[in-house]
Amino acid sequence: MALNSMAPRLAADAQTFDGESKRPLLSVRGLTKHFTRADGTKVSAVDGISLDTKPGEFIVLLGPSGCGKTTLLRCIGGLEAASEGQIEIEDQVVFDAARRVDVPTRRRGISMVFQSYALWPNMSVFDNVAYPLKSKRAGKHSKAEIKDQVEDICRIVGVHEVLHQYPNHISGGQQQRVALARALVARSALVLFDEPLSNVDAKVRKELRIELAALQDKFGFAAVYVTHDQDDAMELADRIVVLDNGHIAQIGSPQEVYEHPESRYVASFVGETNHLTGTVVDRDAAGITVDTSLGTVRALPGPDLKVGDRVDVMFRPQHGKLSETEPDGVNRWQMRYRRKLLAGTHAEVIVTSEHDLYQVRVDADFEPPTQDQVWMSVDPKRIMAFPVAQ
Amino acid sequence: MSQITLSGGAARTGLSRRQAADPFSLVSLLIALVVVAVTVASVVTVVWDLFVVHGHVTLTPFEQAFADGNVLKPLRNTAIVVGLSTVFAVIIGGALAWFNERTDARMGLFSDVAPLAPFVMPPVAGSIGFAILFSPDAGYLNKAWYWVLGLVGIHTQHPLLDAYSWTGLIAVFTVYGVPFTYMMIAPALRMMDSSLEEASKVFGAGGMRTALRVTLPSVLPAVGAGAFLWIWIACSMVDVPLLLGTPHNINLLAPQIISLLTYQYPPDESGAVALSTIITVVVVLAWFVQSRILRSSKFATVGGKGSRTQVVRLGRVGRPVARIAMILYVLGTTLLPGLALLYISLAGSWRSSLTFTHLSLSQFKAALSDEQTFHGLINSLWLSLVAATIVILLAAVIALYVSRSRGIVGRLVDAGVKVPGTVGALIVVVGILLIFEGSPFFLGGTVTILLIAYVMLALPNASVSADAAVAGVGESLSEASRMSGASEFRTFARVVLPLLIPGLVGVWASVFVRTLSDLTASSLLAGTNNPVIGFDILQQSTYGSYATMATLCTILAIFSAVAVLGAAWLGRRVSRWTQDRSAAPVSAKQGA
């Protein structure tokens, strides 16, 4: 990819936001979207969400299907009208339920990459990419300007060779890149992504993620990116917004969300976890003691946890340690070794206690133990405890 | 990140009002409302005239219509002709579809075109062509039949087939029913996953059992839809029974209604409406049965595009037999009647034996130099072109509007547009006559009233097809256009319409052909001031010669064929993006 070819011109008309970098580019306030089911009951797909995006920031909306992430994105894009709340883009109110403001999509000055790509099959790649420019969104363009800009962006995303083909005649990865070119050609300050990588295979997905990150660095657009894939979120996001049932479960950098999840929901959705349920039997300054099916578990003192509470206890596979001899310290349990699952760079070992199954991450060259019984231990600092959701 | 490229296009026009319905939706709604108003007004006018006489509600016209005893016989006749032709059309259409889609008897493009061939031959032309072949004494094929039997020493008075008999009538109805049943069944067979049939065979069922227990139930909804479509159209069919049933007094309901309105003075409108109501009841019943089939959900769901279809090998005997059957079918239903018409028009008369001397174009010259005929032909061509174009545009705009507005208005518009289809063509035509003929429109005897009627008659079927076409265009394609800053009009013109065209050219052609050869509206609304070719042929059938009729029908068939082939060509051309990569010319088109 020739990422540099467009750089000089971009730099020329780029504007520095040094003094104003705190002003949000996109500001969502108390956004709520109800749907009415066929039987008349109201459901809130998005429930009172507030969110700010700085210029050039990459925000990922993460959650399982049905958590409201796509609805939120479509409300920002104006493809769906929210029931309550306010949306501002570049200091302009584009939606305000109370004041009955709803700026049509085409005048919101944003771009979008659709899950299905939504390339128009009746237009060539060139015409698809030129469309936003011809729709006069960015002022009048001469034919020559349009041709230049389309060819530039297509070279950058690597589809200049199929410029005069129809979308149905190019590969899925190329279609994905054309969709990207179309979203970037008008150089909107805000680009929406609706699960754009869900239709390509794992390898292309990885490639496109790297290219997308590079493009974002180069063009400096702010992105709101919807996905259910935690790898997308981890690799692309400046901030991850984990959504649960229309609410924000947690906002933070990928690292924060991964290492300090605020709820069991976030912990189990971002990264893999081993999960136990138990009752708090003791609490001191250093931590809590939980009685579980595995035995006693020591964990960090979670907020609002007291003796007698039911809690979810979790730890990541890479925080479990296996040994054939009994280790020292707390949190050690005798388990039954089941099997090793090789995952290329590392391996997962499956151990069981009673009928419960646990995963521990080990090196790829891990040698299976000589006997059935192994010890598993976890540092108490690595054990997370959350009140059981009512 | 310290740098950001500024977007040129963020809305900087200040606060907008809440997205008041955009202009495109308003225009669509307006169009839809006008269409619905005309539809509903015509039906209401007719019903009002029927039940309200001198300001009192009455059932007298009904009682009179039934007391006459003139109703039961046409009703019985219609039931026999429509019922039997439907059964045969399902059998023949199903067989052709199965040969084409699931066996190795398929013959490329010919196989795709052959079953639809009768569409090119308008019913009025087909009936006359059929009569020329199968008239009991003078029909050329019957004469050939007597001659062949004479060779082996059999002398008989029984024709091979009598065009003017029950058999003839049912045969011609069947011919025109087959394209409809085929059209519905073939795609279903094409989409059906072969693994359903393979599973049946794996578990020990034979070919016959598989066909009856697995294949047929899977396509039952399509069979029902095809049968329903045909019953719907056959009930209002005027031309075939008028031309072939009249000589032996086989009266059907539809021509009966026409004769109540045109051949007697004063026209018996209430009687006609009473008869039309019966047709409506029949169509609604058929629709009810069809929707029951759909709702039973006992049929296998047709798989997506990923499914495979395995071709059935018919074997050394079966394959040629199936192919010959298909070729004979096209010969018998379209080619021979067409050639018969052409021959008579070139020969100048219905000659007693096939001789190829003294053939000339004089009949065509005579027909075209007749002012009334020429005028009618030009009117018909223009009306068909304009009506077909208006119909597909209306159908597309309305289908789009309905698909987007999920509210009650959308549903009402949808119902309103499809009403003329369910209440029967004749009621609508009578309604249009009552509304537009006199004050305040004074459109009686004009081309405009014909245009209104043609559009209203074709719209229900077209709008069903347009619904399917619209459903095939994903909503995200329009959303992507809006996202790119395009207005709703631009979105419609550049994205939606081009994608609908491949689905709509077929509809356009069928509306064109149907309008060109229409007798239903023409017989009631056309006259000496606004002649159309259908009206002319109808008059010729009473007063004129076979040669003139054959000539007019030949002209009709030629224009129909040109329209259908042209539409097929255009359809392929405008949808070149859907074709294989190998088929698409990778031209080095430069720039925009």
For B21, the 3-state DSSP assignment is coil
Residue A389 in contact with residue A310, Cβ under 8 Å? Answer: no
pLDDT computed for residue A257 by the predictor = 93
Report the half-sphere exposure of B343 (CA within 13 A, side-chain side): 21
Q: Which of residues 331-370 of B touch A (CB under 8 A)?
A: none
Cα–Cα distance for residue pair A330/A275, rounded to 1 Å: 18
| B474 contacts A132? CB cut-off 8 A | no
Q: Where are chain B's structural domains? A: 22-58+362-575, 79-344
Is residue B63 predicted with pLDDT exceeding 80?
no
Cα–Cα distance for residue pair B342/B360, rounded to 1 Å: 11
B109 lies within 8 A of chain A by CB: no
Task: Give the chain A residue nearest B3 (alpha carbons).
Answer: A16
pLDDT computed for residue A89 by the predictor = 94
C-alpha closest to that of A185 among A222, A147, A211, A214? A147
Reported for B141-147, long-range contacts at CB under 8 A and 24+ positions apart, including other chains, are B141/B336, B143/B353
pLDDT computed for residue B360 by the predictor = 85
Query: Who among B474, B483, B498 is closest to A122 (CB)?
Result: B498
Q: Determine the average pLDDT of the residues in B419-443.
A: 79
Chain B contact set for A115 (CB, 8 A): 476
For chain A, the C-alpha Rg in angstroms (whole number) is 25
- Most trustworthy range by pLDDT among A157-166, B27-36, B420-429, B573-582: A157-166
> Which amino acid, one-letter code, is at A170?
I
The CATH code of the domain at A7-110+188-264 is: 3.40.50.300
B416-429 burial string, b = 16+ CB within 10 Å, else e?
bbbbbbebbbbbbb
Chain A contact set for B19 (CB, 8 A): 78, 81, 102-104
| B498 contacts A118? CB cut-off 8 A | no
- Residue of A22, A107, A141, A170 to mutate when probing chain B, most B C-beta within 10 A: A107
| B15 contacts A189? CB cut-off 8 A | no
Chain B contact set for A10 (CB, 8 A): 5
B582 lies within 8 A of chain A by CB: no
Dihedral sign, Cα of residue B568, residue B569, residue B572, residue B574: negative
Chain A contact set for B483 (CB, 8 A): 77, 79, 105-106, 110-112, 192
- Under the banding of pLDDT at 50, 70 and 90, the label for residue B21 is low
| A14 contacts B15? CB cut-off 8 A | no
| B17 contacts A131? CB cut-off 8 A | no
The residue that leads in pLDDT, B4 or A285, is A285
pLDDT computed for residue B15 by the predictor = 37
pLDDT computed for residue B102 by the predictor = 81
Q: Determine the average pLDDT of the residues in A252-257.
A: 94
Residue B124 in contact with residue B513, Cβ under 8 Å? Answer: no
∠ CA(A235), CA(A240), CA(A243), 5° rounding?
130
3-state SS string for B224-280: HHHHHHHHHHHHCCCHHHHHHHHHHCCCCHHHHHHHHHHCCCCCCHHHHHHHHHHHH
| B592 contacts A134? CB cut-off 8 A | yes
| A126 contacts B483? CB cut-off 8 A | no
∠ CA(A168), CA(A171), CA(A174), 5° rounding?
100
Is residue A95 predicted with pLDDT exceeding 70?
yes
Q: Determine the average pLDDT of the residues in B68-73.
A: 72
C-alpha closest to that of B82 among B227, B201, B262? B227
Q: Which of residues 51-90 of A touch B (CB under 8 A)?
A: 54-57, 77-79, 81, 89-90
Residue A238 in contact with residue A216, Cβ under 8 Å? Answer: no
For B451, the 3-state DSSP assignment is helix
Neighbours of A225 (CB within 10 A): 27
pLDDT computed for residue A18 by the predictor = 43
| B15 contacts A169? CB cut-off 8 A | no
For chain B, the C-alpha Rg in angstroms (whole number) is 26
B477 lies within 8 A of chain A by CB: yes
pLDDT computed for residue B309 by the predictor = 60
Q: How far is CA A38 from the centre of its chain?
A: 31
Cα–Cα distance for residue pair B110/B119, rounded to 1 Å: 15
- Under the banding of pLDDT at 50, 70 and 90, the label for residue B577 is low
Domain A274-387 in CATH 3.40.605.10? The answer is: no
| A168 contacts B577? CB cut-off 8 A | yes
Q: Which residues contact B275 (CB under 8 A, 6 or more apart)?
A: B65, B71, B74, B253, B256, B257, B260
Distance from CA of B493 to the nearest CA of A (A): 12
Question: Which superfamily, per CATH, for B22-58+362-575?
Answer: MetI-like (1.10.3720.10)
What is the length of chain B? 592
Q: Which residues contact A232 (CB under 8 A, 6 or more apart)?
A: A60, A197, A209, A225
Chain A contact set for B582 (CB, 8 A): none
Q: Determine the average pLDDT of the residues in B256-272.
A: 75
Cα–Cα distance for residue pair A105/A77, rounded to 1 Å: 6
Among A373-377, B191-195, B212-216, B458-462, where is mean pLDDT lowest? B191-195
B4 lies within 8 A of chain A by CB: yes
pLDDT computed for residue B575 by the predictor = 64
Is residue A361 predicted with pLDDT exceeding 90?
yes
- pLDDT more than 90, % of chain B: 14
3-state SS string for B283-329: HHHHHHHHHHHHHHCCCCCCCCCCCCCCCECCHHHHHHHHHHHHHHH
pLDDT computed for residue A213 by the predictor = 92
What is the length of chain A? 390
- pLDDT more than 70, % of chain B: 86
The residue that leads in pLDDT, B72 or A257, is A257
Residue A104 in contact with residue B22, Cβ under 8 Å? Answer: yes
Cα–Cα distance for residue pair B139/B143, rounded to 1 Å: 6
Distance from CA of B89 to the nearest CA of A (A): 37
| B480 contacts A14? CB cut-off 8 A | no
Is residue A3 predicted with pLDDT exceeding 70?
no
Q: Where are chain A's structural domains? A: 7-110+188-264, 274-387
pLDDT computed for residue B167 by the predictor = 92
Tell me the per-residue pLDDT of A258-299, one tens digit each, with 9 for 90 and over: 988 988 899 988 888 999 999 999 998 888 999 998 889 999
Chain B contact set for A136 (CB, 8 A): 485
Chain B contact set for A57 (CB, 8 A): 1
Q: Determine the average pLDDT of the residues in A73-101.
A: 92
Cα–Cα distance for residue pair B487/B499, rounded to 1 Å: 17
| A131 contacts B5? CB cut-off 8 A | no
| B5 contacts A187? CB cut-off 8 A | yes
For A165, the 3-state DSSP assignment is coil
Residue B208 in contact with residue B164, Cβ under 8 Å? Answer: no
Mean of the per-residue pLDDT values for chain A? 87
C-alpha closest to that of A75 among A224, A251, A266? A224
∠ CA(A254), CA(A32), CA(B483), 5° rounding?
75
Query: Who among B7, B476, B482 is closest to A187 (CB)?
Result: B7
- Most trustworthy range by pLDDT among A250-259, B23-32, B132-141, B207-216: A250-259
Chain A contact set for B592 (CB, 8 A): 126-127, 130, 134, 143, 146-147
Q: Determine the average pLDDT of the residues in B452-464.
A: 87
Is residue B209 predicted with pLDDT exceeding 80?
no
C-alpha closest to that of A371 among A317, A325, A319? A325
Query: Between 3.40.50.300, 3.30.1330.200, 3.90.1640.30, 1.10.3720.10, what CATH number should domain B79-344 receive?
Result: 1.10.3720.10
Report the half-sphere exposure of B45 (CA within 13 A, side-chain side): 18
Distance from CA of B574 to the nearest CA of A (A): 8
pLDDT computed for residue A22 by the predictor = 60
Tell me the per-residue pLDDT of B503-514, one tens digit each, with 9 for 90 and over: 788 788 889 988
Task: Return the number of CB contacts < 8 Å for A and B.
Answer: 195
> Which amino acid, one-letter code, is at A267?
A
Is residue B391 predicted with pLDDT exceeding 50?
yes
Distance from CA of B225 to the nearest CA of A (A): 27
Distance from CA of B307 to the nearest CA of A (A): 19
pLDDT computed for residue A20 by the predictor = 47
∠ CA(A80), CA(A83), CA(A86), 5° rounding?
85
Q: Which residues, listed in sequence order, are joined to residue A278 by a DSSP beta bridge?
A: A292, A311
Cα–Cα distance for residue pair A284/A289, rounded to 1 Å: 9
Task: Give the chain B residue nearest A79 (alpha carbons).
Answer: B479
